[in-house]
A and B are shown apart, each in its own frame.
Chain A
Amino acid sequence: MTFFSRTFDSLQHGLDYAALNNKTIANNIANVDTANYKAREVEFKSILDNELKTNMEAKRTHEKHFNFNEGINQFNVTTNKGTSYNHNGNNVDIDKEMSNLATNQIYYNALIDRMNGQFNSLQSVIRGGS
């Protein structure tokens, strides 16, 4: 049993993701009028896999069975190259980006809130509940 529970790690990774996501969205919005720019996106799933990897182990009866902990251990920034929403080759959907920006902000604030909750719990334990 570690002093800092695994929740901190999870929250920290979540915050990392949200910060990167914010930068990616900011970049997409910045390039909304750039010719031939293609929107970028951060993939969260891989980091979730990574989080689960250390928590969950598959019970394997054979060494060639798939384990749960397959996956890349970083978030990926992917570029959506396939589409074009504008005559100049740009495919930034500004409505989507703005709503993602708002969502991401709330998500980030929620994580910060939880982090503070964790710290408060720790503090409460340290003070002996007084």
Chain B
Amino acid sequence: MSVFSGMNISSSALTAQRLRMDTVSANIANADSTRARINEDGEFEPYRRKIVNFQSDSPSFRDQFSKIKGDENKTVNGVKVASITEDDAPFVTVYNPNHPDADEAGYVQMPNVDPLQEMVDLMSATRSYEANVTAFNATKGMLMKALEIGK
């Protein structure tokens, strides 16, 4: 466990939250994209909402080893993004016969993005980001204070 591991923990969370914000941005940007990709049948498919999954960063081999050896071990490791998955929720169907992607009955499949949900997620990510900035500054302040010992 190095001196700066506290800062590394906080910065890992900053990276993760930043990626979450980016994903939310992508979701909102594509809230109306009916042609996100081409499926197996050669037809356009609407955009699917992306979800970021966090995971507590697993301890390294060295940490596990020293734990078994009985050495001092604290296993504080921060967070990482485990995966970005797609929301399986059904697409929203809207009646719009003039749309180029409308089917024979005049219905268009729109992305399963709920702007409200995205905004809540965005605010949550922002708050978490701020909390981690505070934690980072706390660690930094303590390290700077430690440099004053003996002055």
**Contacts from A to B (Cβ < 8 Å):** 15, 18-20, 22-27, 29-35, 37, 40, 74, 77, 94, 97-98, 101-102, 104-105, 108-109, 112, 115-116, 119
For the complex, would chain B's binding face be called helix, strand, loop or mixed by DSSP majority? helix
**B25 CB-CB contact with A under 8 Å:** no
Known: A23-B9, A35-B53. A77 touches B142 (CB 8 A): no
Additional A-B contact list (4), CB under 8 Å, known A26-B138, A77-B74, A101-B138: A26-B9, A27-B77, A105-B138, A119-B149
Nearest Cβ distance between residue A104 and chain B, in whole angstroms? 8
Q: Is residue B27 contacting chain A, with contact meaning CB distance below 8 A? A: no
Known: A18-B142, A105-B142, A116-B148. A31 touches B131 (CB 8 A): no
Question: In the complex, what's the smallest C-beta–C-beta distance from B2 to chain A, in angstroms?
Answer: 10
Smallest Cβ-Cβ distance to A18: which chain B residue = B142
- Let me know if B12 and A108 touch, CB within 8 A: no
Contact B148 A33 (CB under 8 A): no
Contact A30–B13 (Cβ < 8 Å): yes
Size of the chain B interface, CB-CB below 8 angstroms: 39
B97 within 8 A of A: no
B150, A116: Cβ atoms under 8 Å?
yes
B150: chain A residues at CB < 8 Å are: 116, 119
B interface residues, Cβ below 8 angstroms from A: 1, 5-6, 9-10, 12-13, 16-17, 20, 53-56, 72, 74-79, 124-125, 128, 131-132, 134-136, 138-139, 141-142, 145-146, 148-151
Least CB distance from A62 to B in Å reads: 33
Which residues of chain A are near B79, meaning CB under 8 Å? 30-31, 34
Q: Which of A31, A105, A119 makes the CB contact (< 8 A) with B141?
A: A105
Complex Cα–Cα for A65 and B142 (A) = 43
Across the interface, do A74 and B72 meet the contact criterion of CB distance under 8 Å?
yes
Residues on the A chain within 8 Å of B125, using CB: 33
Are A26 and B54 interface neighbours, CB within 8 A? no
Q: Which of B5, B55, B76, B132 contacts A34 (CB 8 A)?
A: B55
A20 surroundings in chain B (CB, below 8 A)? 74
Complex contact B76–A24 (CB within 8 A) = yes
A27 touches B149 (CB 8 A): no
A115–B142 Cα gap in the complex (Å)? 14
Query: Bound complex: CA of A109 vs CA of B124, how far in Å?
Result: 31
Q: List 11 A-B contacts (CB under 8 A).
A: A23-B6, A23-B9, A27-B9, A29-B13, A29-B131, A30-B12, A30-B78, A30-B135, A34-B56, A77-B75, A112-B149
Docked-complex contact B76 and A29, CB < 8 angstroms? no
Contact A33 B54 (CB under 8 A): yes
Cα A19 to Cα B2 in complex, Å, equals 11
